[in-house]
Amino acid sequence: MSTALPVSLDAEAPRTYQVRTFGCQMNVHDSERISGLLDAAGYVPVPESAGEGEADVVVFNTCAVRENADNKLYGHLGQLVGAKRANPRMQVAVGGCLAQKDRDTILAKSPVVDVVFGTHNIGSLPTLLDRARHNRQAELEILESLDVFPSTLPTRRESVHSGWVSISVGCNNTCTFCIVPSLRGKERDRRPGDILAEVRALVVDGAVEVTLLGQNVNSYGVEFGERGAFADLLRACGTVDGLERIRFTSPHPAAFTDDVIDAMAETATVMPQLHMPLQSGSDTVLRAMRRSYRSTRFLGILDKVRDRLPHAAITTDIIVGFPGETEEDFQATLDVVEASRFASAFTFQYSIRPGTPAATMPHQVPKAVVQERYERLTALQERISGEENRALVGSTAEVMITAATGAKADATGRVSGRARDNRLVHVAVPAGARGPRPGDMVTVPITAAAPYHLIADPAAGRYDLRRTRAGDAWDRAQAESCGVPAGTPGAGSAARSGAVALGMPGLPVRV
């Protein structure tokens, strides 16, 4: 095992930390847990604007899905060599899917790393950091199965107005391109009462929106043998007083059932939005991917969703250049994309992931061909996204303002947020009007559109601000951190609050 660089044992000022996240929403949520654990252990977060190397502890929460994941990690680790020499208190930890996969390879390749931990033992991080400091050597701990469900751990939430809630971890599917099941294990489902307790606790803390998370949310209930459990969970979340917006990601088309569509349509707080991964429009490629649905099934689901929720925005994931993909196969993908009218799509060029069945398949598609197809696909989706967004000009949208702002916010003075269908909207606050805080709702007309966002520049009489509990919670968090409460145009650019919740509440819950 590699030996970490020496670290001083002097206990001076509280140690500071920084968490860097790569990957999906599950990783983002795991990073909230990592931050909460470090908070509870007495560490202090550095400002988000701080560069890597300015904290005493730097944690990389990694992803292993893309081909360049390891190169990205080692590039960041290399940049910390000088910082670690200059700061004897500094420790570097690597967790997440890449850590679960590569294990001691990370220690062998990078002498700056003090701790490597996996996807199943996030809760061990503070202990591993202490042990590495005490023993003056690197610590590696990878578990093959979950020891503690992550949602029981302390959490530093990214925002006060929205929260992630894991309903399951792991995946029972065997897609040939995906390494996630081998890294996160078989599906483990939480009991509905525990989920609802966490949702209610988030609402008490000020959240008005939750997103239910799982590798395959609509197979929820398989572990405890309840068909229809996910639809029931959506309806139950809809009864939580004070919760205004419910989202979920991601479902699997093969397991997507009509009762979920009914629950979406009949539960007012479930947002008119659906992320439904397509991956390919070719039935031949879907079969090779071991995706247990075909393009007609996929399009049929979209038709049913739009019949019940006519204004739903549907997004997707697509892989270009899967082994054996012919031009005819790719054209089938283009045809399904054209028919689906996605609001947006996350498009990926296939990359070999060692350990997956697809990695050793014959007929790997040449990089130049993949690139050319990828460019055609993104151009098609950009056209469709632009057309779909422009069709909304003149309509009215309720936008929940977030702390994040657009790249041109300083010049335009616009704040940013998400419509009910999750489209990004940049909103101008009319002169003399009261500005929204993150978590507040504004109802405004859409005045312009681009493929990736909408713009609302309302006249004074068309700007309706509704101040919310979430905005009040944001004000309180700002005051506690010596920030300045919002209330003026552009206030959405203020730093996120970083609210902390200490795991699951010990409250009796009726389901």
pLDDT tens for each residue of 304-313: 999 999 999 9
* Rounded Cα gap, residues 122 and 310, in angstroms: 41
pLDDT band at 5 (very low <50, low <70, confident <90, very high): very low
In the DSSP assignment, the letter for residue 357 is G
171 assigned ligand-binding residue: yes
Return left, alpha or beta for 446; rule: phi > 0 is left, psi -120 to 50 is alpha, else beta.
Answer: beta
213 or 49: whose pLDDT is higher?
213
pTM of the predicted structure, to 2 decimals = 0.78
274 or 36: whose pLDDT is higher?
274
Tokens of 244: 């205004």
pLDDT band at 146 (very low <50, low <70, confident <90, very high): low
- Please report the pLDDT score of residue 153 as a whole number: 58
Mean pLDDT of 13-38: 84
Please give the CATH architecture assigned to the domain spanning 16-141. Answer: 3-Layer(aba) Sandwich (3.40)
- Please report the pLDDT score of residue 505 as a whole number: 34
Please tell me which of 42-56, 154-168, 322-336 the model is most confident about, judged by mean pLDDT: 322-336
Measured CA to CA in angstroms, residue 410 lies from 242, 288, 486, 491 at distances of: 33, 48, 16, 11
Measured CA to CA in angstroms, residue 305 lies from 66, 261, 340, 391 at distances of: 31, 6, 12, 19
Mean pLDDT of 228-237: 97
Buried b (16+ CB within 10 A) or exposed e, 333-347: beebbeebebbbbeb
Q: Is residue 376 helix, strand or coil?
A: helix
24 assigned ligand-binding residue: yes
61 or 53: whose pLDDT is higher?
61
- Please report the pLDDT score of residue 481 as a whole number: 67
- The DSSP line for 235-297 is HHHTTSTT--EEEEE---GGG--HHHHHHHHH-TTB-SEEE---B-S-HHHHHHHT-S--HHH
Domain ranges of the chain: 16-141, 150-390, 396-500
Mean pLDDT of 431-452: 97
pLDDT band at 7 (very low <50, low <70, confident <90, very high): very low
Domain 396-500 top-level CATH class: mainly beta
Buried b (16+ CB within 10 A) or exposed e, 184-218: bbebbbbebebbbbbbbbbbebbbbbbbbbbbbbb
pLDDT for 492 beyond 60: no
Mean pLDDT of 417-426: 98
The rounded percent of the chain whose pLDDT value lies above 90 is 59
pLDDT band at 32 (very low <50, low <70, confident <90, very high): confident
User: Domain 150-390, CATH 3.80.30.20 — does that match?
Assistant: yes
Tokens of 448: 């312009």
Q: What are the phi and psi torsion angles at 449 (to 5°)?
A: -150, 150
237 assigned ligand-binding residue: no
Contact 4, 114 (CB under 8 A): yes
* Rounded Cα gap, residues 261 and 297, in angstroms: 15
Three-state secondary structure string covering 212-225: EECCCHHHCCCCCC
pLDDT for 474 beyond 70: yes
Tokens of 382: 């950009």
97 assigned ligand-binding residue: yes
482 assigned ligand-binding residue: no
What length does the chain have?
511
pLDDT in tens, 9-18: 445 688 999 9
